[in-house]
Structure 1
């Protein structure tokens, strides 16, 4: 091999080693955590899907929650690939599969779930604040508030909006899989960007900007909705104390649950993602890059934890889901009690 060829291989090797920020945390701790939330998430979302898809889609809220279940199940599908890759299984070809397909599935499902959280919060805001406020205003204002509420809660409108949402995200994220089409080998598998075509790099950059903008807009919507509902509840409490406790409990359980899950799962990752995205163009030292990568991987795990926390939202927000779950659990306990009684009688 020529000297130039040796220099090229050596420089590539140095670049690979410098860019390999793996650690005990990413190679052993995170795979175990992902495995645990994969098992728990499949169990919880399997039960949620089993109950939800026996519930008629008779309101916008139910439609939005059902789509969140679908997004969580799709995200869960990508977990085994991530765990296997972090454990060093499958070789470089598995990493190529992750770059081209499962990472795209993971992030597209995550942002679909974020978007539906925003829609649910907006629907709750219109129901609790705008609808109640419009009842004490003029006829024109009342009609406007009620019509907006009816639109957001209408099942047909919600289904059409859900279809439009999935189509939009498919259009945004699917090209990231299609345009990651450069030949893969044992030298370029560590960096997904090296597998992208020039158009793929531009599309990837555009999808990052779109997803980051979507997150921050959704965060503003959630904060605005929760602050408005909290203020409305406080004002209602001051006016009619005896009626406010029930309103307070229902509204806080629903909107507050979404806000807590959103801040736990998604805010840390997106705060970390800003400097991480700018890292290639920045003057960060190698140590800073290493620490930032560890932080990014840790906060990304918090985003994945969303699949285990979303069922709490379903239970608190949807009365039909809660009643169906409790009814099925009580039925199982009753059947178990009858079987135990029958066994006891047979032994006597």
Structure 2
């Protein structure tokens, strides 16, 4: 029996942890996904780090108005940033041929912090959808219009998550392997961890239902308003906002639904006897669907851009100033090689991008700026030569 399993499963080696019918034990060790996983996590790290750092900078130093949505978005960005920080360790692990050299304790720290921040992000995204639903329908209680409730809610979520993560790290399920990390392993002897994972899956589906109901009703209400009052000044904006709500729901579905749909089968196999071939298949599928969940940390900044007008205006302003500085640098460099020219009676006008307050930038100006960036037109600063 051992010989047959070894021959049919070249990527499975036998160690303590998994229990096939023959009584032998095996370890899933699939090398086929190592390089693709290392590459994908590297890309996610770069874009996730840049996007979430930019979002945090805007939330904390540019966007002045304090609101419940702003507080929630800040916490989502922090959770995504902490998740992204865990990715280099996954890149290191997979790039070394699925070999872990930092010890089992640190492996548990990285793994649990990764999942902790993923579920913090999921939960807060659900709160954002409910908050927006109450504001659009104007049926929320007075407290829902203030930011204090969101501060308390986020503090409770972080405190509970950190406590559970510490318990997961300090506990031992008896199947740690100093040379492996982020891989399939049994929960025999630590079934409570499997049941905790079941609970997290249930939390996800509750949040997902809240998102579907909230964003669905928001989109339908805004679309209905735009159709009933086509001559209303903001009718076209209502239609755009409705489409954005559907897009946010689409991103959430693509990133998290595949992982949590498969998660039930995966957890069930961890607390019941499983053949090596089945465990190997489950491990591969889990790695692929986990990529979709990790991708959300890169796509959340896009959600910030869609949901928050302040983020959208600030981001466009930053990009505008950046490209203008680049254009000014190129202009100054070319002029340094030209003879000096004295200009009399002309005073360059200051750039509108520099003197226009952030809050005074209208939607039409933002759209115009997006068009300029897309078309690669010159910036206002670049059109003036230095005198």
TM normalised by structure 2 equals: 0.74
Q: Which ranges in structure 2 are unaligned for 5 or more consecutive residues?
A: 1-13, 339-387
Give how far 1:256 is off. 2.2
RMSD of Structure 2 on Structure 1 (CA): 2.9
- Tell me which residue corresponds to 1:127: 135
- Per-residue CA deviation, residues 80-119 of structure 1 (Å, 9 max, x unaligned), is 1112122237954436145420110000000000011101
Equivalent residue, structure 1, for 2:362: none
Larger helix fraction of residues: 1
Report if the CA contact (8 A) 1:180-1:197 is conserved.
no
Q: Evaluate the alpha carbon distance shift between residue 13 and residue 112 of structure 1 in structure 2; reply closer, same or farther with a 3 A threshold.
A: closer
Q: C-alpha deviations, 1:110-141, integer Å up to 9, x for none?
A: 0000011101111111122x21xxxxxxxxxx
Does the aligned pair in 2 maintain the 1:74–1:106 contact within 8 Å? yes
Q: Which SS does the other structure have where 2:318 is aligned? A: helix
Matched, 1:53 2:55: no
**1:18-60 deviation digits (Å, cap 9, x = unpaired):** 33141312x2211111111112211222222222221336101
Q: Residues 221-241 of structure 1: CA distance to partner in whole angstroms, max 9, x if unpaired?
A: 011112212321343234212
Aligned length: 318
Matched, 1:262 2:252: yes
Which of residues 172, 178, 184 in structure 2 aligns to 1:180? 172
Partner Cα separation in structure 1 for residue 324 and residue 179 of structure 2: 61
Instruction: Give the structure 1 partner of residue 301 of structure 2.
Output: 311
Aligned counterpart in structure 1 of residue 193 of structure 2, from 190, 201, 204: 204
d(CA) in 1 for partners of 2:39 and 2:32? 12
Question: What is aligned with 2:265?
Answer: 275
Q: How does 1:205-224 map to 2 (within 5 A)?
A: 205-224=194-213
Deviation of residue 311 (structure 1)? 0.6
- Any residues of structure 2 matched to 1:285-300 within 5 Å, and which? 286-300=276-290
Gaps of 5+ in 1: 1-9, 132-144
Name the SS of the counterpart of 1:212 in structure 2: helix
**Closer/same/farther in 2, CA of residues 122 and 166 from structure 1, 3 Å limit:** same
Contact 2:103 2:179 in 1 (8 A): no
Contact 1:61–1:153 (CA<8 Å) still a contact in 2?
no
1:246 has 2:226 as partner: no
What is the distance in 2 between the residues matched to 1:263 and 1:61? 21
Correspondence for 1:164: 156
Answer yes or no: is the 8 Å Cα contact 1:99–1:180 preserved in 2: no
1:330 to 320, 326, 333: 320
SS class of match (1:216): helix
Name the counterpart of 1:140.
Answer: none
Could you tell me how far 1:186 is from its partner in structure 2?
5.1
Distance 1:101 1:282 in 2: 25
TM norm structure 1: 0.81
Equivalent pair of 1:60/1:157 in contact (CA under 8 Å)? yes
